[in-house]
Amino acid sequence: MSLVSLFTDMASEMLYPVMPIYLKTIGFSIMLIGILEGFAEATAGLSKGYFGKLSDVTGKRAPFVQIGYGLSAISKPMMAVFVYPVWIFFARTIDRFGKGIRTGARDAILSGEATPETKGKIFGFHRSMDTLGAVIGPLFALIYLYYNPGGYKTLFYIAFVPGLLAIAVSLTVKDKPKKVTGSAKTVSFFLFLKYWKESPATYRKVTGGLLAFTLVNSSDVFLLLKAKQSGLDDTAVIGVYIFYNLVYALAAFPMGIIADKLGLKNMFVAGLALFAAVYIGMSFDITVYTFIGLFFLYGLYAAATEGISKAWISNIADKKDTAVAIGTYTGFQSIGALIASSVAGVIWYTLGASATFLISGAAVVLIAGYMFFVTE
């Protein structure tokens, strides 16, 4: 599963730095790009809980993983074939729909391969491999565009290659025999909302805190925009992004091992403290070297929270509901991230960059206190 994620992230992150530039070259306005991304993320968010529940009741994991990663792979060349807005919307939605299909089932597979004492290690290893793809992909894009300036469309075709490798590896994933708990007919699209009401109180406490954090955790694009605003050129901005992902990739696995020893909650709260420090630091006028230091801390924050949050949820949810528990969380998380980025954009426009980062950093300090003292 980690190899599948590595190849998929290579493909996706290869395109991440050039996606807005490419869309502008084919006639997309900034507003239309925002609508496109919002619609795509909403598609992923609303579908994660549903397909997570469907995976649980049918007892199947592998088909959801294979179909989900397959859709994401084929969406890459689709965006280069035609440049009509409707087609671009369709291709981008296919990509995010694939993410919605696979997320809950994939994380349930990871959870099933671990014990409660090794959840951090398993999810941390997966995040390390996944994020390694986010290092290799942009690095390849940087080198390719250095020799082929403006060759964005070809890059979308190249990204199909690691996508095909992801599909090939996903076909080796097999389901273990499992008792079926229901049928697809019993699963409505919004049934995951019912799960929220019926879930254990501890799940709601923990997930409530995680989602509160999501509402103030805006897109990383704002960090890159701050770097650009502070005088870094395009190459330096992409370089900083690669550096952040490298730190994240190298730290996620050991962070997971440490979390199993010190406690998943303690590690997650430490990650929130790092996030707050980075965002408060970003609110000031800083030098290039300070930027590098803050992005180093930001990589550690991601390593201490991303995989850990899912490991934590899988430990407090009933084993038979693992996929829907994680799918419900990640579904709300996608919607929360959309809201967070929209609000951050408004604050940035009205009050400036410093206020954007300072408000988020201060809010996360309060959320860290809640997570430490209120959750189990």
pLDDT in tens, 292-311: 999 999 999 999 998 899 88
Dmax (CA) for the chain in angstroms is 58
Burial of 235 (0-12, 13-18, 19+ CB in 10 A): exposed
Which among 71, 67, 133, 73 is positioned nearest to 105, based on CA atoms? Answer: 67
Distance of CA 275 to the CA centre of its chain: 16
Give residue-wise pLDDT tens across range 314-366: 888 888 888 888 888 887 887 887 788 888 888 888 898 899 999 999 999 99
pTM of the entire predicted model: 0.80
Tokens of 113: 């391969």
Calculate mean pLDDT across residues 367-374: 92
User: What is the Cα–Cα distance from 241 to 139, expressed in whole angstroms?
Assistant: 10
Instruction: Tell me which range, 17-26, 278-287, 338-347, is most confidently predicted by mean pLDDT.
Output: 278-287
Residue type, 173: V
Rounded Cα gap, residues 257 and 251, in angstroms: 10
Q: Give the separation between CA 124 and CA 184, rounded to whole angstroms.
A: 32
Quickly tell me which residue has 């993983």 as its tokens: 65
Q: Which residues contact 79 (CB under 8 A, 6 or more apart)?
A: 22, 88, 91, 92, 156
Taken in order 221, 289, 148, 131, the sign of the CA dihedral is negative
Do the beta carbons of residue 260 and residue 120 sit within 8 Å? yes
Among residues 277, 273, 238, the alpha carbon closest in space to that of 371 is found at: 273
Domain segments of the chain as ranges: 2-170+192-373
First to last CA, the chain: 29
Give the pLDDT band (50/70/90) at residue 183. low
Residue 314 near residue 326 (C-beta atoms within 8 A): yes
Amino acid at 326: I
Name 311's Cβ contacts closer than 8 Å, sequence gap at least 6.
111, 114, 119, 120, 122, 123, 124, 256, 259, 264
pLDDT for 40 equals 75
Q: Enter the tokens of residue 224.
A: 């890159």
Confidence (pLDDT) at 172: 93
Q: What is the pLDDT of residue 44?
A: 75
Q: In whole numbers, what is the pLDDT of the chain averaged over residues?
A: 86
pLDDT at 294: 94
The reply to whether CATH 1.20.1250.20 applies to domain 2-170+192-373 is: yes
For the residues of 272-317, what is the DSSP string, one character each? HHHHHHHHHHHTS---HHHHHHHHHHHHHHHHHHHHHHHHHHHHHS
Q: Is the pLDDT of residue 188 over 70?
A: no
CA distances from 337 to 107, 197, 277, 333 (A): 20, 22, 20, 6
